[in-house]
Amino acid sequence: MDEKNQEQWLDTPDPQQFIRNTAKFNDLMMMYRCAIREIRTKLEVLDDEFSVEYKRNPISFIKSRIKKPESIYRKLKKLGYEFTPENIHQQLHDVAGVRVVCAFIDDIYTIAGLLAGQDDITVVEIRDYIKTPKPNGYRSYHMIVDIPVFFSKGKTLMRAEIQIRTIGMDFWATLEHQLRYKQGIEDMEGYENISRELLTCARTVLETDTEMQRIKNMIGQFHDI
């Protein structure tokens, strides 16, 4: 956070009051970190099994993050809720986030299906931006899930967002975010052209993903002969 934003953050009454209650906030963030560990373990187990059974790894890598306090505050404010531990836990879906990057498109749906089939995971919501991309070209498979985490005081259901995408989708989304969210880019002359070029790049990535999937399927068919 830069100095200006930090000053605004500290000058805001509600968050300042909340942050003073450090113990509650830290406890809640610890619980979200534990939820991420639970999800990562499940994903790593699945990837290990594929490595042994099928001699390949469907998961290229896994990233995770906890949303920053100022982002949590802004989102709650936008939704019309006070900045409290109860509202963070009950109203926000993406405080804990896990990104799963796969090699091929069909791996995305395989991993998503295996996660959804586990009896201790409850799928709350699915948004398939692969079959229905966002207007800017963004593609990814989003799952909102509840997962139980066991603490000394008992079991607590924690909510997290899981994003599953290919290497190509992740490459495009990462660079698109850096380019599009550059400060003041919306006011630049030619911004509409930039958006069109980014959309063209997204379609190129889609073509590449589709072609790599086709080649994988061909190799699979030859392997079965």
pLDDT of residue 220: 81
pLDDT of residue 190: 76
The one-digit pLDDT tens for each residue of the chain (225 residues) are: 444 544 444 445 455 565 556 778 889 999 999 999 999 999 999 999 999 998 899 999 999 999 998 899 899 999 999 888 889 999 999 999 999 999 999 999 999 999 999 999 999 999 999 999 999 999 999 999 999 999 998 999 999 999 999 999 999 999 998 887 765 667 777 778 888 999 999 999 999 999 999 999 998 865 543
Question: DSSP string covering the chain, please?
Answer: --HHHHHHHHH-HHHHHHHH-HHHHHHHHHHHHHHHHHHHHHHHHHHHHHHHHTSS-SEEEEEEEE--HHHHHHHHHHHT--S-HHHHHHH-S-SEEEEEEESSHHHHHHHHHHHHTSTT-EEEEEEETTTS--TT----EEEEEEEEEEETTEEEEEEEEEEEEEHHHHHHHHHHHHHHTSTTGGGSTTHHHHHHHHHHHHHHHHHHHHHHHHHHHHHHHHHH-
